Amino acid sequence: MELKKLGNNETQVNQNGYLVLYSYHTPVAIHHLASGQEWRTSKKWSATTSKHINKWVSDKAIAVTQETLEAIIKDGYTSALQTAIGKLTGTTTTTTTNTTNTTTTSTNNNVCPVGQILTGGQCQ
């Protein structure tokens, strides 16, 4: 884990393949290093925090709830987004580990290896 102070009350943390922007002590945006995908909190914080976020993310960043943003940091974006999609669509998500220690996440009939996301019916 690498910590980088960007300004007053603005810190970037490099951890587990993600850059996470903290404003004050709260994670407010994430950049996935491998895919370039970005997420920003949809929660409205202070004007200063909004300025930190807008300076740090691109215009392609996806707004997600604070809960989802924190789940991405904790569980990785595949797991967190599949859980969020399941809540929206009413589908269930299960995670299993087989004897070769390969963990897969299954949503209905679609299965992707951990670290990949199902997009358009294909794992990426």
Q: Where are the domains of the chain?
A: 1-65, 76-124
d(CA 123, CA 118): 4
pLDDT confidence band for 114 (50 / 70 / 90): low
pTM over 0.75: no
pLDDT confidence band for 98 (50 / 70 / 90): very low
22-26, 34-38, 89-93 — which is least confidently predicted?
89-93
* pLDDT for the residue 102: 46
Q: Which residue has the higher pLDDT, 90 or 4?
A: 4
Q: Does the pLDDT value for residue 72 go beyond 90? A: no
Structure tokens at 86: 């399941």
Query: For 116-120, which contacts have Cβ atoms below 8 Å and span 24 or more sequence positions?
Result: 116/78, 117/77, 117/78, 117/81, 117/82, 118/82
Q: Which residue has the higher pLDDT, 113 or 59?
A: 59
Give the three-state DSSP class for 99: coil
Give the three-state DSSP class for 18: strand
* pLDDT for the residue 75: 78
Burial of 45 (0-12, 13-18, 19+ CB in 10 A): middle
Q: Which residue has the higher pLDDT, 85 or 24?
A: 24
Within 10 Å of residue 96's Cβ, how many Cβ atoms?
10
